[in-house]
Amino acid sequence: MYTLFHGLYKYLVQKDDYCVLILGLDNAGKTTYLEAAKTQLLRQYRGMNPSKITSTVGLNIGRVVVGGIALNFWDLGGQQELQSLWDKYYAESHAVIYIVDSSDRDRIAESKETFDKMISSQTLQGVPLLVLANKQDITDCMGVREVKPIFNENAHLIGRRDCMVMPISALTGEGVDEGIRWLVDCIKRNSDVRPPRNQDS
């Protein structure tokens, strides 16, 4: 009888569990983005003051339930010396959010190079990819029409996977919700290739 109720409880309460990596160069706005996502998608969550957010050394984690599934966000530090640790997380990930500082033209080539190296990994093959042109609230930033062709130059590396480039402002929260909901649909579609972490439990 316990087994029956336990199984029913799990069916009704437990959400499929997925991991989403948040990657990008340092100062691209990854942690601010994670805070904006939690603020928009978690009831009664009071976000951190953006002026108090500092560069991530290591890992920030956030969990939200959206579209009937649980997303575990892993915000990894973007400093060059920390990028070598990213691939340790690839095998467990179900999607990647790559954040671009669209106001920093001087580092766009560096961001593109880092992006290409990341998507070249065999471990990430077929994993849905959301590229976010962040800091759209800043005057004279690059819009999606300018960012998209840069990151599409090596389309063969992106391969046959769900991929979207969207404009956002992590600071104001604009575009955050739409991107995550798009990603949820992609993760669900891809779940036969990358099943949720708790499927066997």
- Annotated ligand binding at 17? The verdict is no
Q: Which residue has the tokens 């956002």?
A: 168
- Annotated ligand binding at 29? The verdict is yes
- Annotated ligand binding at 136? The verdict is yes
- Annotated ligand binding at 185? The verdict is no
| Residue 150: φ, ψ to 5° | -65, -45
- Annotated ligand binding at 24? The verdict is yes
- Annotated ligand binding at 40? The verdict is no
Question: What single letter denotes the amino acid at residue 61?
Answer: I
- Annotated ligand binding at 152? The verdict is no
- Annotated ligand binding at 134? The verdict is yes
- Annotated ligand binding at 172? The verdict is no
- Annotated ligand binding at 38? The verdict is no
- Annotated ligand binding at 39? The verdict is no
What residues contact 186, with CB distance under 8 A and at least 6 apart?
Answer: 95, 128, 162
Cα 144 to Cα 150: distance, rounded to the nearest angstrom: 10
- Annotated ligand binding at 78? The verdict is yes
Binding residue numbers for GTP: 24-31, 78, 134-137
Binding residue numbers for Mg(2+): 31, 56
